Amino acid sequence: MNILLLEDDLILSAELCKFLESNNFICDKIYDGETFLRQIKNNTYDLYLLDINVPKINGLDVCQTIRSFDKNTPIIMISAYGDLSDKKDAFTRLADDYLVKPFQFEELLLRMNSLLRRKAPSENIDQDILRIDDLIINKTEQKVFRAGNEIALTLKEFQLLVYLAEAQGRTVSKQQITENVWEHNFNTNTNTVEVYINFLRKKIDKDFKVKLIHTRSGFGYYLSSL
C-alpha cells in the first residue's frame, strides 16, 4: 500500500513514515500543499494523510482539490486543530477521518486499516479512472480533469478521448476510430476524425505545455505524455 503524507514538521514526518514502513506500507512525504498536488498527478496512492497548517496550499484546500477528481481514495486529516468547527470543515470537504495531534501512531494505523478494508470491495471502481500525466478521465461519471480543472466535452469528444486513452499509448488509425467510436464505417476520406481530434486538442492541450494528443503521420493518433 502506498501512502502520501503531507506534513511540514520534519521530525514528525520522518517518524511517521518510519512507523508506516515498519508496518509494510510505502510512505512518501511532502512538506507543502503545492508540491503535494504535483506529486499526485503522476503517481497513484492508496491513502492520503493531510496536515492542515502547511505552506503554500493548506491541507483543507488540498483535500477539496483531490475530491474534485478522485472520490474514492481515503483521506485522513491529521491536525493540531481540535475544535468541532475545524473537523466540520474537513468533513465538509469530504475527508474520511480526522485525527487530532498529538496522537498515537497505533491509533492512526487502526483507522487507516479500517478505511482501506472498506475501500477494497469497491476497488473495481478504479478501473473506470484513466490517468495520463495530469489528465484524469472518470468513465463512470463521464468527467474529465486536467491539472485538477474540469474540462467540458461533448459526448462524442468524450468517447473519442476514452478510446485513445484505453489504447495505452498505442497508435489507432482513422478506420479503428470510426469503427469503435462512431460504430459504423462512414467514408474515412472525410475529415470527421480530424475535426474531432482538433476539438480535443483545443480543450485538452491548448493551454498546457505538455501535449498529450499526438499524430503519427500516415498511421493515426495516440495519447501520451512523452
Q: What is the pLDDT along the chain (226 residues), one digit of tens a residue?
A: 899 999 999 999 999 999 999 998 999 999 999 999 988 877 888 999 999 999 999 999 999 999 888 888 999 999 998 899 989 999 999 999 999 999 999 999 999 998 888 765 444 445 678 888 888 999 888 899 988 888 999 999 999 999 999 888 888 888 889 888 987 655 656 788 999 999 999 999 998 888 999 998 888 999 987 6
Q: What is the crossing angle of helices 10-22 and 105-119, to 10°?
A: 60
Final residue of a domain: which of 71, 98, 119? 119
- CB-based contact 154:196 (threshold 8 Å): no
> Distance (Å, rounded) from C-alpha 123 to C-alpha 118?
10
Same domain, 76 and 185: no
**Among 68, 98, 119, which residue terminates a domain?**
119
Within a domain: 88: yes
Let me know if residue 32 belongs to a domain. Answer: yes
Q: Residue 69 domain-assigned?
A: yes
Residue 102 and residue 134 share a domain:
no
Are residues 19 and 74 located together in one domain of the fold?
A: yes
Where do we find the cell 469503435?
Answer: 180
CATH number assigned to the domain comprising residue 89: 3.40.50.2300
Our count of domains for the chain comes to 2
pLDDT of res. 188: 55
Q: What is the CATH number of the domain that holds 185?
A: 1.10.10.10
Q: Is 63 exposed, middle or buried (0-12, 13-18, 19+ CB in 10 A)?
A: buried
Whole-prediction pTM: 0.58
**pLDDT for position 92:** 92
- Model pLDDT, residue 122: 47
Q: Are residues 101 and 11 in the same domain?
A: yes
87 and 48 assigned to the same domain:
yes
Looking at the structure, do residues 98 and 136 belong to the same domain, yes or no?
no
8/105 same-domain check: yes
Domain that holds residue 175: 129-223
The whole-number pLDDT of residue 123 equals: 46
- pLDDT at position 13 is 95
Tell me: do 104 and 7 sit in the same domain. yes
| 124 domain residue, yes or no | no
Q: Same domain for 179 and 101? A: no
Burial tier of 58 (Cβ tally within 10 Å: 0-12, 13-18, 19+): middle
**Residue 124 has what pLDDT?**
45
